[in-house]
Amino acid sequence: MELNTIETQNLTKVYGEKPGIKALENLDLTVKENEFTCIVGPSGCGKSTLLRILAGLETPTKGKALIKGQPIKKPTPKIGLVFQEYTLFPWRTVTENIQFGLEIKGTPKKQRKQTAQQYINLVGLQGFENTYPTQLSGGMKQRVSIARTLANNPTVLLMDEPFGALDAQTRNQMQRELLRIWQKEKKTIVFVTHNVDEAVYLADKIAVMTKRPGTIKQTTKIELPRERDRTSPKFNNYRTQILNQIETTQTQQT
């Protein structure tokens, strides 16, 4: 039986001394290979905490986070993380930013350059190789962040509100670009967002979290063809369904 790419079992995270602040409680999540999973839920429900545990940046208080059946105990090249903030080095060009992780790994210079150019082409930044971040738009900066993460060839791509700071038009464009990259690269993606429209547009599956302490209330498979029509009745039905699930988590829990 094939293992899930990402899995959590009874995942609980408490901050501080007893009784502490419980961010997550008994959270179970499974993500299959090459699956695009979106996670939505009320503000403060622990979505970012979950991603940080999956990235190996934090350890759970109880339970497990697994990749291919192996515990996630620290950051690993198998798992890449893209933040909402661009986190680019302002003194490095586009190419140099994308090469950074490869430099850390000791990749030969010629291979670094070839790999960086490959992902510059993939995210549509040809002609901006020698440009610095201060000269780029928000959408272009996020393309560099995605390219830098993909250059390390992770199995899993974790994305924490990566398009949240973009205007609506750029955001929609970046969503289309991400789907194109995902279909080409065949990565497993776990994508956190507050935007239900974005989740329905992108996801194979949407997991709705309860308010803090966060757990998975319900998962919904999005059975719509790509590219998805945001104005279609079926799209709107899914959007309404997910919004109702989120609203229910806020009114039922005390």
Note the pLDDT of residue 20.
82
Note the pLDDT of residue 92.
95
Mean pLDDT across 100-104: 90
Q: pTM (2 decimals)?
A: 0.91
Asked if residue 254 has pLDDT above 50, the reply is no
Binned at pLDDT 50, 70 and 90, residue 2 comes out as low
Write out pLDDT tens, residues 179-202: 999 999 889 999 999 999 999 999
Whole-number CA gyration radius for the chain: 18
- Gap between the Cα atoms of 143 and 108, Å rounded: 24
The encoded tokens of residue 228 equal 């998805």
Nearest to 101 by CA among 122, 81, 128, 85: 81
Cα–Cα distances in angstroms (integers) from residue 167 to residues 1, 126, 164, 227, in the given order: 43, 23, 8, 21
Note the pLDDT of residue 251.
60
With pLDDT > 70 as the criterion, what percentage of the chain qualifies?
96
Tell me which residue has tokens 């999540």: 29
Note the pLDDT of residue 3.
67
Binned at pLDDT 50, 70 and 90, residue 220 comes out as very high
Note the pLDDT of residue 249.
72
Mean pLDDT of the chain: 91
- Gap between the Cα atoms of 153 and 101, Å rounded: 10
- Gap between the Cα atoms of 116 and 133, Å rounded: 16
Mean pLDDT across 219-239: 95
Write out pLDDT tens, residues 15-31: 988 778 899 999 999 99
Write out pLDDT tens, residues 69-85: 999 999 988 999 998 77
